[in-house]
Amino acid sequence: MNDRPLSFAETFFLGLAGLVGFIGLWTFLSVSGIVPRQFLPNPLDVATRFIQLLSAPFAGATLPMHLASSFERYAYGVLLAAFVGVPLGLLMGWFRLLDDIVTPIFDGLRFIAPIAWVPFAALWFGTGIGGPVMIIFAGAFPPCLINAYRGARFVEPRLIEAGRMLGTPNSRMILEVLLPAAVPSIIAGLRVSAGLGWQSLVGAELIVAAAGVGFMMVQAQGSVQTQTVMVGMIAIGLVGMLIDVLLRQGEAWLRRRRGLEA
C-alpha cells in the first residue's frame, strides 16, 4: 500500500479529474436521453438557472434571499445547541450526580432523528422560525454535549489533583481547568454539530417553512422545475462545504495555538 502523502498539485488535479468525470457523466445521461431532460437537465441549463436566481425572484425571493433566511434559522439553532450543550456537557463531566440524572434522558432523545421532530415542531410552531430552529437544535445538540463531556472526562488527572490540593472551588475548576483542557474536543464537536445542523435545516424547510432554500426546492418540485431544485441542492452543498472549511481552519489554528500539531 502506497502511503506517500500527495502534494497539493496532485490532490488538486485528482479532485478536478473527479469533478470533470462527474459532470461528463451527468451531461451524457441528460443529452443522450437515457434520463429524460425534464428530470435531469444538463449542467449548462442548471448553471444558467443558478445565475438567473441570483437576481430573479422565485417563490417570493431570490436565491441569496432564500439562503439568508435559511442561514438565520441555522445560526439560531446551532448557537442555541452550543450554548446549552457545551456547558451541560462540562457540568456532566464534573458532577457525577448530574451525569446520572441527564444521561438516561439524553440517550433516549439523541437517537431520535431530527426529521422525526418535524411533525411535533409543525404542531407547536407552524411555519414560523421556531419549528426549523427546534429541528436544527435537535440535530446539532448531541455532538456539542458529547464532545464537551468527553473533553471534561479526559482531562489530565494531575491538573485536577493540583487544583484540588490548592482548594480551588468547583466553579473555578470548571472554568480554568476543565474548559481549557476540553477546548479541542469542544471545537471538534462544534464542527460535527455545524454539519448536522445544516442537514437538519434543509429537512425542516422542506416541510415547516415559508421561506428558505428548502422551501424554494419544494415549490420548484411542485411545478416540475428540476433546474431550480438542482440549483437549491448545489447551493446547499456549497454553503455546507464553506461552513466546514471555515470550521476546519479554525480547528487547525486552535490546535497550532495550543501546540498540538506542527
Domain count across the chain = 1
Residue 222 grid cell: 411542485
**Average pLDDT of the chain, as a whole number:** 84
Give tens-digit pLDDT for 130-157.
Answer: 888 889 999 999 999 999 998 888 877 6
- CA nearest neighbour of 86 among 186, 3, 173, 171: 186
Could you tell me if residue 13 is inside a domain?
no
Could you tell me if residue 8 is inside a domain?
no
- CA nearest neighbour of 200 among 126, 251, 209: 209
Residue 174 grid cell: 470548571
Could you tell me if residue 23 is inside a domain?
no
- CA nearest neighbour of 74 among 155, 143, 150, 133: 133
pLDDT value at position 262?
A: 44
Could you tell me if residue 203 is inside a domain?
yes
Q: What is the mean pLDDT of residues 64-83?
A: 92
**Location of C-alpha cell 443522450:** 32
What distance in Å separates the CA atoms of residue 182 and residue 147, rounded to the nearest whole number? Answer: 8
Q: Picking from 30-39, 47-56, 158-167, 196-205, which range would have the lowest pLDDT averaged per residue?
A: 158-167
Could you tell me if residue 22 is inside a domain?
no
Q: What is the domain range of residue 52?
A: 38-257
Could you tell me if residue 57 is inside a domain?
yes
Give tens-digit pLDDT for 184-239.
Answer: 888 888 889 998 898 888 777 877 667 888 889 988 988 888 999 999 999 999 99
- H helices of 54-129, where? 63-94, 96-110, 118-125
CATH number, domain of 163, equals: 1.10.3720.10
Q: Percentage of the chain surpassing pLDDT 90? A: 21
Could you tell me if residue 7 is inside a domain?
no
Could you tell me if residue 239 is inside a domain?
yes
Confidence of residue 1 (pLDDT cuts 50, 70, 90): very low
- CA nearest neighbour of 214 among 222, 202, 196, 224: 202
